[in-house]
A and B are shown apart, each in its own frame.
Chain A
Amino acid sequence: MYTRTYKTAVAVPPLLWVSTFLLLAYLLLFLHSFWSVQDGQIVHHWSLSNYRTLATQPLYLEVLWRSTKIAGAVTLLSLALGYPLAYYLSFYSRRKMLLYQLVIIPLWVSYLVRAYAWKTILGSDGVLNTLLQYVHLTDAPVSALLYSPFAVILTLTHIYTPFAFLPIFAALEHIPRHLVESSSDLGASPRQTFWRVVMPLSLPGVIAGATFAFVLSLGDFLAPLLVGGSSGIMISNVVVSLFGAAYDWPLGAAVSLAMLLLVLLLLWLTESLEKRWSHA
């Protein structure tokens, strides 16, 4: 069909792209993680000292654990919001495309703008606090709204819910409607139909959506930076400061690789889960 030259010409640019911008970059990161900093210079002495620091200094594992908890909460909330919405859109909505677009539109707005919007809403002088005081529900601004882990979870949920919604919606759309009809013809109540037909068939979408929400929010650094305050910092902020002000690229690389490993493990896990459920 296609000539050999054509095939090569098509394959080379993406391969080149992936090898320079992904493989080579990861390789450099990997190498850095075994080096160290002495007197403000990165020296190429091979050692495991960065990994030892990771394992012995509780700080890094604590922050990683905190980030995992935040990402977990974001995932659950995104699913809780995304699934009913996708289900409604796929099975009941008459204006499917309009609503679908409405979910997608926020993705076209800059991340920064959306995060800043939450600052305006949640701040001490913000929309929400002003309203709460206006209706006399509170008599002083509720400060826990902004600059707290709560604000981080809320912002991330807002930002990553569409990522959970999309694969779920796609999975629901692919469920043959005659299966649903047969289920009710055979006497199943709507509830039974949902739990025993629709839900199992949509699980691969749920897993894909949950993976997106979890992995993306685990690595997020802007939301904690902008709305996280002094107690909501996440692992990526640690990486940013290690690569930035602290100028400890080797330790930063080790933390990044630990994160990468965690994410790869998760991807492998969900991939195999997805496979099992789609063949069930």
Chain B
Amino acid sequence: MHRRFLLVLLSALAGLGTFSCNRQKPKTLNLLVWEGYADPSYIRGFEAKCGCTITATYMGSSDELVAKLRGGSAANYDVISPSSDVAGMIATAGLAAPLDLARVPSYAQLSPRLTGLPLVKSNGKTYGVPFVWGPNPLLYDTTAFPRAPEHWSELWEPKLKGKVSVWDDLSTIYMAAQVLGYDKPDPSALYNLSDDQLEQVKKKLLALKPNIRKMWASGGELTNLFQNHEVVIAMGWPLMTNQLRKVNFPIGETIPQENTTGWIDHLMITAASDNKDLAHDFLEYMIQARTQKALADVTGYTPANPSAAQFMSAEQKVSLHLDDMESYQRRIYFWQNVPRRARYNEIWNEVKAAQ
């Protein structure tokens, strides 16, 4: 509750500030997005075009995003980037504003496989634009692993005691469920685990705890853990592989034989935003082919706009799997809405709090 008071106090102060010094107020667009989605390399271009400033807050997990939207701070953000697990819920819960697609002309260029999903559509209205997608791959220090690990279960090997990092997110639950084989035959079972299965997952994760040195809560934290040689293997994002390669860290990235979970990220405008016009312009900018190429450069994620490929080298197309999209997508079990998310969170908290 303190937070709400602080907010009132801060907004009162901010109100005083704008009242006293800004006659024509410069527009600010506030983002609450995953790391990598507000990189200066493309954000600057938009700022110059619209004469506005962009401030970005990074989220560490889907649940953090939802908690922020629900906890009363939704009005602080204009644009959010929920993934396929919570995007639908955010749309139906009235936390996002319906989009005026006429103002986002590049929407027509996006891959129909993504825009065709029922995910962010409700009552005939569209609430989000898919803009990038990717997997949660296994990252490893190549000095510790000359050959790429082949299974997620290798994280449990006793020789990796205190050398593993996992994401402080439900994705780690999905991963353990995969190791237990609950994704067979139907991968969507990962998002609909029964109580018994969740208990087994919890047991499995408790067995992993001795190997976990630190759970990472932000992309920057995991790259630091690798660079300081605190861990040698972790579940991560392609963004981190990109960042670590840029600083010449010997990082390897693989999708183990069990396949992995992944996400389709959407840009949405919050229902509480005061800058909906500007936000629409931003969405359009983010899915234009050139921006999409820049986004792929920074994050290593696959752009939703296939025409971004015209700006890419053959090499980049291969690394983004644009040449074998279908088989690549078959290896990624995209996050879905988890009907019993609260129960999943309870299990996850119990795993975290255990000794």
| Residues of A participating in the B interface, judged by any CB pair closer than 8 Å | 20-21, 25, 28-29, 32, 37, 40-41, 59-60, 62-63, 66, 123-126, 141, 143, 146-147, 229-231, 233, 237-238, 241-249
Decide yes or no whether B250 CB sits under 8 A from chain A.
no
Asked if A247 and B70 make an inter-chain contact with CB atoms under 8 angstroms apart, the answer reads yes
A238 to chain B: closest residue by CB: B353
B2, B61, B350: the one contacting A25 at CB < 8 Å is B2
Asked if B63 and A230 make an inter-chain contact with CB atoms under 8 angstroms apart, the answer reads no
Chain B, 190-225, contact with A by CB distance < 8 Å: what is the 0/1 string? 000000000000000000010011110000000000
Interface positions of B from 83 to 124, Cβ below 8 Å from A: 89, 93
B5, B214, B352: the one contacting A241 at CB < 8 Å is B352
Decide yes or no whether B229 CB sits under 8 A from chain A.
yes
A29, A41, A123, A233: the one contacting B352 at CB < 8 Å is A233
| B1: chain A residues within 8 A (beta carbon) | 25, 28-29, 32
Decide yes or no whether B41 CB sits under 8 A from chain A.
no
| B67: chain A residues within 8 A (beta carbon) | 243-247
B60, B71, B209, B352: the one contacting A247 at CB < 8 Å is B71
Decide yes or no whether B349 CB sits under 8 A from chain A.
yes
Q: A125-B229, A244-B67 are in contact. Are A230 and B349 (CB under 8 A)?
A: no
**Chain B min CB distance to A261 (Å):** 18
**Chain B min CB distance to A122 (Å):** 10
Can you report 12 residue pairs joining A to B where beta carbons are below 8 Å apart?
A: A41-B70, A59-B354, A126-B228, A229-B214, A230-B212, A231-B209, A243-B67, A243-B71, A244-B64, A245-B60, A245-B345, A249-B71
Asked if B349 and A124 make an inter-chain contact with CB atoms under 8 angstroms apart, the answer reads no
Asked if A245 and B63 make an inter-chain contact with CB atoms under 8 angstroms apart, the answer reads yes
A21, A28, A63, A230: the one contacting B209 at CB < 8 Å is A230
Asked if A247 and B63 make an inter-chain contact with CB atoms under 8 angstroms apart, the answer reads yes
Decide yes or no whether B16 CB sits under 8 A from chain A.
no
Chain B, 149-184, contact with A by CB distance < 8 Å: what is the 0/1 string? 000000000000010000000000000000000000
Q: A244-B67, A246-B67 are in contact. Are A147 and B214 (CB under 8 A)?
A: yes
Asked if B228 and A123 make an inter-chain contact with CB atoms under 8 angstroms apart, the answer reads yes
A66, A126, A230: the one contacting B213 at CB < 8 Å is A230
Asked if B230 and A146 make an inter-chain contact with CB atoms under 8 angstroms apart, the answer reads yes
Report the Cα distance A125→B228, complex, angstroms: 6
Asked if A147 and B213 make an inter-chain contact with CB atoms under 8 angstroms apart, the answer reads yes
Report the Cα distance A60→B354, complex, angstroms: 10
Chain B, 55-66, contact with A by CB distance < 8 Å: what is the 0/1 string? 000001101101
| B66: chain A residues within 8 A (beta carbon) | 40, 247
What's the A-B contact tally at a CB cutoff of 8 Å?
88
| B63: chain A residues within 8 A (beta carbon) | 244-247
Decide yes or no whether B247 CB sits under 8 A from chain A.
no
Asked if A37 and B350 make an inter-chain contact with CB atoms under 8 angstroms apart, the answer reads no
| A126: chain B residues within 8 A (beta carbon) | 228
Report the Cα distance A238→B61, complex, angstroms: 16
Size band of the interface chain B makes with A: 20 to 34
Report the Cα distance A92→B352, complex, angstroms: 49
**Chain B min CB distance to A20 (Å):** 7
Asked if A124 and B2 make an inter-chain contact with CB atoms under 8 angstroms apart, the answer reads no
A41, A62, A238: the one contacting B349 at CB < 8 Å is A238
| B209: chain A residues within 8 A (beta carbon) | 230-231
**Chain A min CB distance to B13 (Å):** 15
Report the Cα distance A246→B68, complex, angstroms: 11
Decide yes or no whether B48 CB sits under 8 A from chain A.
no
Report the Cα distance A247→B342, complex, angstroms: 9
Report the Cα distance A244→B65, complex, angstroms: 9
Q: A29-B1, A40-B70, A230-B214 are in contact. Are A66 and B61 (CB under 8 A)?
A: no
Report the Cα distance A231→B209, complex, angstroms: 8
- Central interface residue in B1, B229, B345, by most chain A CB within 10 Å: B1
**Chain A min CB distance to B285 (Å):** 30
| A29: chain B residues within 8 A (beta carbon) | 1
Asked if A245 and B71 make an inter-chain contact with CB atoms under 8 angstroms apart, the answer reads no
| B346: chain A residues within 8 A (beta carbon) | 246
Report the Cα distance A243→B349, complex, angstroms: 12
Report the Cα distance A146→B162, complex, angstroms: 11
A28 to chain B: closest residue by CB: B1
Chain B, 40-60, contact with A by CB distance < 8 Å: what is the 0/1 string? 000000000000000000001
B227 to chain A: closest residue by CB: A125
| B61: chain A residues within 8 A (beta carbon) | 245
A38 to chain B: closest residue by CB: B342
Decide yes or no whether B355 CB sits under 8 A from chain A.
yes
**Chain B min CB distance to A73 (Å):** 15
| A25: chain B residues within 8 A (beta carbon) | 1-2, 5
Q: A25-B1, A247-B63 are in contact. Are A63 and B342 (CB under 8 A)?
A: no
**Chain A min CB distance to B231 (Å):** 9
| A125: chain B residues within 8 A (beta carbon) | 228-229
B9 to chain A: closest residue by CB: A21
Asked if A147 and B353 make an inter-chain contact with CB atoms under 8 angstroms apart, the answer reads no
| A249: chain B residues within 8 A (beta carbon) | 71
B166 to chain A: closest residue by CB: A230
**Chain B min CB distance to A172 (Å):** 37
Asked if A241 and B349 make an inter-chain contact with CB atoms under 8 angstroms apart, the answer reads yes
Asked if A246 and B349 make an inter-chain contact with CB atoms under 8 angstroms apart, the answer reads yes
